[in-house]
Amino acid sequence: MPHAPHRDFALISVSIDLGAGRRGVDMGPSALRIAGIQGKIEQIGHTVSELGTITAGGIETTESGEGVLPFLSEILDVAGRTRAAVRNALDRGCIPLILGGDHSLSIGSVGAVADHYREQGESIGVIWVDAHTDMNQPHTTPTGNIHGMPLAVLLGFGEPRLTRGRASVRPENVSILGARELDQGEKALIRELGVRVFTMSEVDERGVATCMDEALERAGDGTCGFHLSLDLDALDPAVAPGVGTPVRGGLTYREGHLVCEKASRSGGLLSLEVVELNPVLDDRNQTAELGVGLVASALGATIL
């Protein structure tokens, strides 16, 4: 495997499934480790530091609370601990690589990256690769599941305790790639903010390469780089069966790799997360192995 320019990465596991409607994604980080993620990154030529695991309480033992957002208090706590771990990685000069866990963890991970660069007078972009747009708010959510809200929160919309009273990213620097299942309230907010959504219909018609190029241009416009949030349900369930909320008609194996290869070649990757891997639903850990391969592509692994 050809070596990419050496970089220092910090692995952070966030074991949480409280933001999701189905159990099991809290085991995603372990499955990625079993699939050999650290060795794969080192094989490319990078250094990997272990910054440990952030563990949420279990559904059986955690108070769900009252109101429309179940487990809000525990998710806030996990977001805070994730934020601290990612800041620690950045302070060490490492690129954070976060292993999830449900997508609610992005409230902490992306928030930390944005805070870090904001203090340096910079802003960041976000490329959200996902079957869903994750832009629900408490008054629009059909489920109450917070993993359907993190991008809205990062844009400054939603529960004030989650947003912390400000936006982490600007809508003009945000793109969603691979979306194919949206709620009505999300569509309204997307139109209001002007977030760019590359639906699977557009990917089919124009090609994933063109769409990713435009997402990269948008993420890099006036920013110091971008965070790549990779929800494995962006891939078609035929190649990624082990995800929390599968939706048919997703990215192919090669399309997923091309997205990550282009992210690497852009030179703008500041941080990366892989979320929503559910080993309970997987087949012989194939989705975890796919996730490791996608991470490797995003970090510089090439075919030739």
For residue 15 the two structure tokens come to 């074991």
- Phi/psi at 91 (nearest 5 deg)? -65, -30
Express each pLDDT in 228-240 by its tens digit.
999 999 999 999 9
**Is 233 designated active site?**
yes
CA dihedral 78, 121, 267, 14 (to 10 degrees): 0
pLDDT of residue 191: 98
For residue 301 the two structure tokens come to 């692994």
Express each pLDDT in 19-45 by its tens digit.
998 899 999 999 999 999 999 999 999
- Which are the contacts of 192, defined by CB distance < 8 A and separation ≥ 6? none
Tell me which amino acid residue 40 is.
K
**Is 134 designated active site?**
yes
State the catalytic residue, choosing from 231, 236, 261, 289: 231
pTM for this predicted structure: 0.97
State the catalytic residue, choosing from 134, 186, 261, 289: 134
Mean pLDDT of 107-115: 98
CA distances from 182 to 42, 56, 192, 199, 220 (A): 38, 27, 15, 10, 26
Q: How confident is the model at residue 212 (pLDDT cuts 50, 70, 90)?
A: very high
State the catalytic residue, choosing from 46, 103, 227, 257: 103
Q: How confident is the model at residue 3 (pLDDT cuts 50, 70, 90)?
A: low
Among 125, 110, 136, 302, smallest CA distance to 214 is for 125
**The CATH number of the domain covering residues in 8-298:** 3.40.800.10
**Is 213 designated active site?**
no
Mean pLDDT of 95-100: 98
pLDDT of residue 59: 78
Q: Where are the domains of the chain?
A: 8-298
**Is 132 designated active site?**
yes
**Is 116 designated active site?**
no
